[in-house]
Structures are given as structure tokens and as C-alpha cells.
Amino acid sequence: MALVEPRERLFDLRRDKSSGWEKPYKPALLLAFLDLIERGEFPPDCVSLTDDLVRRYRDYLAVVGGEGDRAGIGYPFWHLAGDELWSLRDRAGNELYVRGRTASQSPSVRAIRKQLGRAAFDAGLSAHLREPLDRDPLREAVIGRYFSRRPGEGAEVREVHRAFFAEGRIAAKDAPAGTGPEAARSAAFARLVKRVYDYRCAAFGLCIRLRHGGREDAIVDACHLVPFHHSGNDHPSNGMALSKDDHWALDQHLISPSLEGAELRWRDSPSLDPRFKGHRQLLDLQNRVVLLPPERAFQPAPEAVRWRRERLLGAERS
């Protein structure tokens, strides 16, 4: 898709004009998303209602909001699905935003998080969000179209963006040489998965974080349940935070999460032998409850869990 098409779509957002002017909520939210994608907080195909996004939205609204413009993030997050920039689905895969039935609702952040199972940007828009050289034109399109009501407003919005990346953080366009789109995608997935699991291993609960200057390291890895080369899916519901040893064991089909009734529990491969010291820790994992993130939207998707369980069963039969 040519870049002109998503730019035209961003130019035509439906917005509340009940106060005599177009409300800034939707474009402010889009700018917040662009910033967090550029910083590596979100994979470009993922729509997540995180606390970082809430704070970033408020940063922009503090600059562009007029008197009485105080809508919470739930309002534009819900209604941008009506502009078809992203889709919102529950855990069963059903559309949450349905014209003529649920479109008039304005759920709270808590209600959206409780219902939300899978949210994703439109595929065409996502393709451009992956490209650092495309994100700047999209940002400028939003600023130029919606933030020119008063003199200097566009410059104020750009300063909010500039200041965000001047706080000791490295923007994607300033990343070290040799960092390409694939590395940026992988890093974004890792940051988000580790954060939603609170840097805690979903198997044994190990949590160690170290800070080195502006960098932060954690003992956990972010792993895909269904490998990216197989699924192309970087949503956190296709991920899990595990220690490096447990990550390796998962990839070798020695352990797997398994849906047991309404709970996710760990299952071991029969190839593990209690007579070997190195096997005993993994055997101790059998039937333990998986340590999940609190937000349901980030918890492992049933189809991803099934994929892993099938590989464990396949390894058992071989």
C-alpha cells in the first residue's frame, strides 16, 4: 500500500464537534502510539492499552486540549475502531466494536481491559508503522491536519515529541548502526512482553532486574509461543517471559503451557528423567499454574497454547 492511502485515512477521522470545534482525542492518541512504537514500547502490529500509553496520551492532551477537553483515553481508544484503524476483539475472537450495536458505547479503561482479548492495527497501516522513514510523515500528517487551530500549536506538539526522546532515550531513527527493522521489531516485542509480565518468569517466578546507566537488563527472556517465522505474530498474547533456561526448555519441547479447564498449567515431557539432577527442576514444574500478567489482553492466546502443547505431545510420541 502506498503511504498516501494511510495518510488520507488519518486526514478523515470522525470527531466530536459538539462544542463547536473538533475534539483532539483521537489524533492525540495516535501521536502517543507513534511515540511508543518509535521508542520500541509496542510492536507495530499491536494495539495495547498500557499505563505508558495512558500517560503519553495525557502529555499530548495537556498541550492540545481546550477548556473542557478532558476525555479519558478509553473514549478515543474505543472509537478509533470505528475509523477502522484497528480492530478490537474479545478472547473468543468476536468483534467488540460493532456498528449499530456497540459503537455508541464509551467503555472505561478498566472495562476495555477486562473485555479485550486481541487488538491489532489495520494491516496496511501496520506495514508503514514498521518503517521508521514512514512514521515521521504519518506524524506530520496528524499534526498538520488537526493541530493548527491556533498559532504555534503544531510547534508545541512537536516539542512534546522532541522532549520525549531527549530524556536519555534513543529514538529508533537514532539507533546504533546495523540496527534494522527486524532488530527493532524483535526489541519492541521483548520490551513489551517483559514489561507486562513485570520481568517475572512465568514458570518459577524468578525476577531480577539490573540497571546499568540508562540501560536495564532482566534475567528473563521474551519468547514466542508460536515462533515469529511461523506466525508473523508479535502480539504479547503470543509471548511469555521465561528465564533463559526455561526458554531453552520450551523451545526444545521439554515443557509447555497447557489449558486445563479454566487454568493454564505447565506440562513436562516424559523424556525428562528424575534420576538426572539437571532434569529435576523441570520435573518440579509439572502441574504448576502458569504465572500470568494481570491484563487478560496480554495473557497467552488459546491457539498459541495449543500450538505449544501439540509440539510437546509430538515430542512425546517421537
What pLDDT shows up at residue 204?
94
Same domain, 156 and 14: yes
Task: Tell whether pTM > 0.75.
Answer: no
Mean pLDDT of 105-131: 83
Of 105, 139, 174, the domain-final residue: 174
> Is the pLDDT confidence value at 6 over 60?
yes
Same domain, 156 and 214: no
- At 175, the pLDDT band (50, 70, 90 cuts) reads very low
Same domain, 112 and 26: yes
- Which cell numbers hold the place of 161? 515529541
Same domain, 148 and 165: yes
Of 174, 203, 235, the domain-final residue: 174
pLDDT digits (tens, 9 = 90+) for 150-164: 788 889 999 998 888
Mean pLDDT of 70-77: 86
The boundaries of the domain holding residue 74 are 4-174
Q: Please give the full DSSP string across 3-32, using - where no structure is assigned.
A: THHHHHHHTT-----TTSS--SHHHHHHHH
Same domain, 30 and 161: yes
pLDDT digits (tens, 9 = 90+) for 224-270: 999 988 887 777 888 999 999 999 999 999 999 999 988 999 999 98
Show the CA angle centred on residue 119, arms to residues 142 and 93, nearest 5°: 145
Backbone dihedral angles phi then psi of residue 214, each to the nearest 5 degrees: -90, -5
Same domain, 151 and 11: yes
Backbone dihedral angles phi then psi of residue 18, each to the nearest 5 degrees: -65, -20
Backbone dihedral angles phi then psi of residue 131, each to the nearest 5 degrees: -100, 115
> Is the pLDDT confidence value at 317 over 50?
yes
Number of folded domains that form the chain: 2
- At 177, the pLDDT band (50, 70, 90 cuts) reads very low
- Residue pair 135/128 in contact (Cβ under 8 Å)? The answer is yes
Same domain, 160 and 203: no
Of 149, 174, 199, the domain-final residue: 174
> Is the pLDDT confidence value at 299 over 80?
yes
Q: What radius of gyration do the chain's Cα atoms show?
A: 21
Between CA 271 and CA 257 the distance in angstroms is: 17
Same domain, 189 and 93: no
Same domain, 44 and 114: yes
Same domain, 113 and 247: no
Same domain, 161 and 213: no
What pLDDT shows up at residue 213?
62
Q: How many residues does the chain have?
A: 318
Between CA 315 and CA 311 the distance in angstroms is: 6
Mean pLDDT of 200-211: 91
Burial of 30 (0-12, 13-18, 19+ CB in 10 A): buried
> Of 198 and 316, which is predicted with more confidence?
198
* Mean pLDDT rounded to a whole number for the chain: 82
Between CA 235 and CA 87 the distance in angstroms is: 13
Same domain, 13 and 145: yes
